[in-house]
């Protein structure tokens, strides 16, 4: 199945990006997938109270509506994050809104949280029968009069169904959303969200709550954010979302389109922000590293910069689902090369570099 999808990948790049994405989702629904077998025990780890067979996850954005989480897990991922989901279904921003940057292996999107809403995803997640770590990434409706209330509703809706929950306040494509990263707003948001999580814990158990942050924060802004996160004992941070910055050497035809930049051009900035965050939180708050992971080398760099777990998405667009196995194989080789007995031993090893 992985081979069939990867053989079709060159043809998929010839069609509209959103149509190619829909084809991939439909293929995962239709074709039967066999388990790829168990992972090397050296790649196993426990993070924020959850057990992962390997540290490689699929980032939010691919399975927006929780249509194929189990199929994704059978592709060899250690976990998958569905969403971003909002209380009400919304169409997102006008098309075109996804732009490939082929020479840079990057993507610019201004989707705007297009999704089917909480109810549809809730129904699908209730029907899951396979075990595996599935996180739910939560957002707010563009026209909402109370962004915080949207996140609270998300916690209440998905706490019984999710392995972990993500408060996504860092997308650049919903006006005003990133303002929730400011200390005073974030303080209120986290207080209300975690209160909702604790209320739900009596019925469904205590679920980890993570915060997904922007790579465009200044270091003083990061200091303030980390202080609020530590105050509320947030379970983890995802570093990072897409960036509104544009590297000077980016030359693709669509390089100056408005939206969030992901893929290889985001790697350096997001990894630097990851290391900066790790220097501030150490092992107190686990980190998930995201941004430009398209090889074992890139995944290893995220882990040694401070990531306990790593997510990818854009890399699949250019290199296919076979990338997951290549990354895990490469991580095993690096563990042998550096004399580590577990992937845990490598976390943060190079953060000061």
The whole-angstrom separation of Cα 199 and Cα 214 is 28
The whole-angstrom separation of Cα 142 and Cα 329 is 41
Pairing of strands 236-239, 209-213: parallel
The whole-angstrom separation of Cα 312 and Cα 57 is 7
The whole-angstrom separation of Cα 277 and Cα 73 is 28
- The tokens describing 288, both together, are 């998930």
- The tokens describing 114, both together, are 């297009």
Residue where the block lists tokens 């814990």 = 201
Q: How many residues does the chain have?
A: 353
Residue where the block lists tokens 């290391």 = 275
Contact 112, 93 (CB under 8 A): yes
End-to-end CA distance of the chain: 40
CA distances 335 to 267, 329, 330, 338, Å, are: 22, 10, 9, 5
- The tokens describing 276, both together, are 């900066």
Is the backbone peptide bond immediately before 306 cis, with ω within 30 degrees of 0?
Answer: no
Residue where the block lists tokens 């057990």 = 51
Report how far Cα 163 is from the mean position of its chain's Cα atoms. 14
> HSE (CB half, 13 Å, CA atoms) of 221?
14
Report how far Cα 64 is from the mean position of its chain's Cα atoms. 11
Which residues carry out catalysis? 171
- The tokens describing 178, both together, are 């990133």
């Amino acid at each position: 199945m992985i081979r069939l999808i990867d053989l079709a990948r060159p043809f998929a790049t010839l069609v509209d990006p959103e149509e190619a994405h829909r084809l991939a989702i439909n293929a995962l629904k239709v074709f039967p997938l066999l388990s790829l077998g168990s992972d090397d025990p050296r790649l196993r780890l426990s993070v924020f109270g959850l057990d992962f067979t390997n540290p490689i996850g699929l980032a939010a954005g691919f399975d927006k509506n929780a249509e194929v989480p189990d199929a994704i897990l059978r592709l060899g991922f250690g976990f998958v994050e569905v969403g971003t989901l909002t209380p009400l279904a919304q169409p997102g921003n006008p098309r075109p809104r996804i732009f490939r940057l082929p020479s840079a292996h990057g993507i610019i999107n201004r989707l705007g949280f297009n999704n089917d809403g909480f109810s549809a995803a809730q129904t699908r997640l209730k029907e899951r029968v396979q075990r595996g770590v599935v996180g739910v990434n939560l957002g707010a409706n563009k026209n909402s009069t109370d962004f915080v209330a949207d996140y609270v509703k998300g916690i209440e809706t998905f706490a019984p169904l999710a392995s972990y929950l993500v408060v996504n306040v860092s997308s650049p494509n919903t006006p005003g959303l990133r303002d929730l990263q400011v200390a005073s707003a974030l303080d209120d948001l986290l207080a209300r969200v975690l209160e909702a999580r604790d209320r739900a814990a009596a019925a469904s158990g205590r679920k980890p709550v993570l915060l997904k942050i922007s790579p465009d924060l200044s270091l003083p802004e990061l200091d303030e954010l980390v202080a609020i996160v530590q105050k509320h004992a947030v379970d983890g941070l995802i570093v990072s979302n897409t960036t509104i910055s544009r590297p000077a050497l980016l030359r693709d035809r669509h390089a100056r389109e408005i939206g969030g930049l992901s893929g290889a051009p985001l790697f350096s900035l997001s990894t630097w922000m990851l290391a900066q965050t790790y220097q501030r939180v150490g092992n107190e708050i686990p980190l998930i590293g995201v941004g430009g992971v398209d090889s074992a080398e890139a995944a290893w760099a995220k882990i040694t910069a401070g990531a306990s777990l790593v997510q990818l998405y854009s890399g699949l667009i250019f290199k296919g689902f076979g990338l997951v196995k290549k990354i895990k194989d490469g991580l095993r080789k690096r563990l042998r090369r550096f004399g580590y007995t577990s992937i845990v031993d490598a976390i943060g090893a190079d953060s000061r570099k």
